[in-house]
Amino acid sequence: MTDAPTTPDPAPPATPAAPAPVARPAGPTGPLPPSAHRVADALRAAGVDGQVVVLPDSARTAAEAASALGCPVGAIANSLVFVADGEPLLVLTSGRHRVDTVGLARRLGRERIGRATPEQVRAATGQAIGGVAPVGHPAPLTTVVDVALAEHVRVWAAAGTPHAVFPTTFEELVQVTGGTPLVVADDEVPAG
């Protein structure tokens, strides 16, 4: 019997950090709802390859989205509509933050920033609360992007409906929205 040189066992394949979301089968309008199609079209027009995914369950909150996607809540980009001195303002914030409207108004040189009503959100974005996307709106919105989103290699944003999301990056969000990167929060949402 001869001694053959031994080679180390190959490393096991890397385990993905999270399972891929399961897409819902195509329905009568195709694989994506109309509002998600508008978001996908806006992403393509901006030269971004954000693949819109339809989740089997609603992801109206950052916690629901993070759970469905297997990612940290801070990697969820919430698209929140505010009214700043009478004009709509879109704030893309990390799911672990609450927007500090007083501090944000000061940073933007605005008198007052307050939450938009559901009717104001729909009028500004064409989308319902819980599914507001960073893009795909009837007209461009003044946008602020939370710098905390830069802490994540990949972030997820709503795609026009509470069931649809797309992967992106902080840099892409700034690019596609023409947004201003800013600190938007003084606190973090408690875990739970």
pLDDT in tens, 144-183: 999 999 999 999 999 999 999 999 999 999 999 999 999 9
Q: What is the pLDDT of residue 19?
A: 41
CB 155 within 8 A of CB 64: no
CB 39 within 8 A of CB 177: no
Higher pLDDT, 89 or 57: 89
Cα distance between residue 162 and residue 13, in whole Å: 33
CB 129 within 8 A of CB 160: no
CB 179 within 8 A of CB 92: yes
Domains recognised in the chain with CATH numbers: 34-182 (3.90.960.10)
* Cβ neighbours of residue 103 closer than 8 Å, sequence gap 6 or more: 183, 184, 186
Q: What is the pLDDT of residue 60?
A: 84
Higher pLDDT, 133 or 31: 133
Strand partners, 76: 156
Q: What is the pLDDT of residues 55-65, one digit of tens each?
A: 988 888 899 99
